[in-house]
């Protein structure tokens, strides 16, 4: 297959990948429709099946395509946005986007903090033996998984918490049932390639980009929860409005900056 004029001679699988991406971007294959099969790619572009497979695999890894063994390759798509500034619940946000929210509780169990790992123990300032509730929830919009939430909360702050409680908004639960106002939260947001297991739960392919949000939430200065939550990269974007006033003055009046 002749390559387009380019300064660098790219490997064939990368050139093919670019061509397939253009096909996807062109809209010729709308979301959920079947994409070209490996054999069709072989015929159309004159490459071998392993090369076609490798080019497709990269698009699968990006979350653009979905491969089903014995059936075919399908196009994926659609997006929610996450307002980083507020604690607007997932349900509300999904509804605002015109989508139907739901929640699957995958795991819910009390365990000693040490079982949850040093990250949890440190974030919540707990002794090793203190019990926490560990929960894993899958949040869905229109029956499509979009968030995989792992959260830990000290049992002593939420006694009597039940699996059923987790079907609803945990934020309003804290406020209304436990009288614990959420006053602040610290978040770390990373871009990650989703692992196979997490990707499977989220209905995307392993390696697709997603956000990993590690956060500690506080109520009047006391750590209330710690979470490790994955957001599908193809379904979420973060919005941030940032006033600059106080920070800007910290810049030195002179000196070199990049």
Residues that bind DNA (CB under 7 A): 1, 9, 11-14, 37-40, 46-51, 53-54, 67-73
Rounded least distance, CB 42 to DNA, Å: 7
- d(Cα 226, Cα 172) in Å, to the nearest integer? 17
Residue 88 contacts residue 78 (beta carbons within 8 Å)? no
Candidate residues 210, 227, 228, 229; the one interacting with a second copy per rule CB under 8 A: 210
Query: How many Cα atoms sit within 13 Å of 125 on the Cβ side?
Result: 7
211 touches, from DNA, a second copy, none (C-beta below 5 to 8 Å by class): a second copy
Residue 100 binds which entry of a second copy, DNA, none, CB below 5-8 Å type-dependent: none
Nearest residue (CB) to DNA, 40 versus 86: 40
Binding partner of residue 102 among DNA, a second copy, none, CB cut-off 5 to 8 Å per kind: a second copy
Return the residue matching tokens 């919009």.
141
Binders of a second copy among residues 20 to 49 (CB under 8 A) are none
Please spell the DSSP secondary structure of 65-104, one letter per residue: EEEETTTEEEE------EETTS---HHHHHHHTT--EEEE
Of 61 and 233, nearer to DNA (C-beta) is 61
Q: How far is CA 27 from CA 58, 138, 156, in A?
A: 19, 30, 53
H-run or E-run covering 105: strand 101-112
**CA dist., res. 207 & res. 192, Å (int):** 8
Please, which residue, 5 or 253, has the CB nearer to a second copy? Answer: 253
Name the phi and psi angles at 15, rounded to 5: -65, -45
Nearer to a second copy, 155 or 182 (CB): 182
Q: Which does 87 bind (CB under 5 to 8 A by kind): a second copy, DNA, none?
A: a second copy
Q: Does 193 bind a second copy (CB under 8 A)?
A: yes
* Partner in contact with 141, chosen from DNA, a second copy, none, beta carbon below 5 to 8 Å by kind: none
Nearest-approach distance from CB 59 to DNA, in angstroms: 12
| Number of residues this chain uses to bind a second copy (CB under 8 A) | 76
Cβ proximity to a second copy: between 43 and 237 the closer is 237
Query: Quick one: CA dihedral 92, 95, 99, 100, positive or negative?
Result: positive
* Distance of closest approach, residue 38 Cβ to DNA, in angstroms: 4
Contact 76, 202 (CB under 8 A): no
Quote the Cα angle for 144-235-86, to 5°: 105
Pick between residue 50 and residue 128 the one whose CB is nearest to a second copy. Answer: 50
CB-side neighbour CA atoms (13 Å) of 31: 6
Query: CB under 8 Å to 58, separation ≥6 — which residues?
Result: 13, 17
Applying CB under 8 A, among 159, 164, 179, 242 the residue interacting with a second copy is: 242
In the three-class reduction of DSSP (H, G, I as helix; E, B as strand; rest coil), residue 57 is classed as helix
Find the binding residues for a second copy in span 115-174 (CB under 8 A): 139, 167-169, 171-172
- Any contact of residue 238 with a second copy (CB under 8 A)? yes
């Amino acid at each position: 297959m002749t390559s387009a004029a380019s300064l660098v001679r790219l490997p064939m699988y990368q050139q093919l990948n670019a061509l397939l991406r253009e096909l996807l971007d062109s809209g010729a294959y709308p979301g959920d429709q079947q994409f070209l099969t490996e054999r069709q790619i072989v015929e159309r572009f004159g490459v071998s099946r392993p090369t076609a497979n490798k080019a497709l695999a990269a698009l699968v890894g990006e979350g653009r395509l979905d491969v089903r063994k014995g059936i075919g390759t399908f196009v994926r798509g659609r997006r929610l946005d996450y307002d980083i500034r507020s604690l607007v619940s997932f349900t509300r946000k999904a509804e605002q986007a015109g989508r139907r929210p739901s929640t699957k509780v995958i795991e819910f169990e009390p365990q000693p903090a040490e079982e949850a790992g040093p990250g949890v123990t440190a974030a919540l300032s707990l002794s090793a033996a203190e019990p926490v509730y560990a929960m894993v929830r899958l949040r869905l919009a229109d029956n499509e998984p979009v968030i995989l939430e792992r959260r830990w909360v000290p049992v002593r702050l939420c006694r009597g918490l039940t699996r059923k409680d987790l079907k609803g908004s945990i934020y309003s639960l804290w406020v209304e049932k436990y009288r614990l106002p959420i006053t602040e939260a610290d978040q770390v947001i990373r871009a990650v390639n989703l692992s196979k297991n997490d990707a499977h739960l989220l209905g995307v392919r392993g390696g697709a980009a997603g956000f990993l949000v590690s956060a500690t939430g506080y109520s009047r200065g006391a750590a209330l929860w710690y979470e490790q939550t994955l957001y599908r990269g193809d379904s979420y974007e973060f919005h941030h409005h940032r006033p600059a006033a106080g920070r800007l003055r910290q810049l030195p009046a002179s000196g070199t900056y990049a």
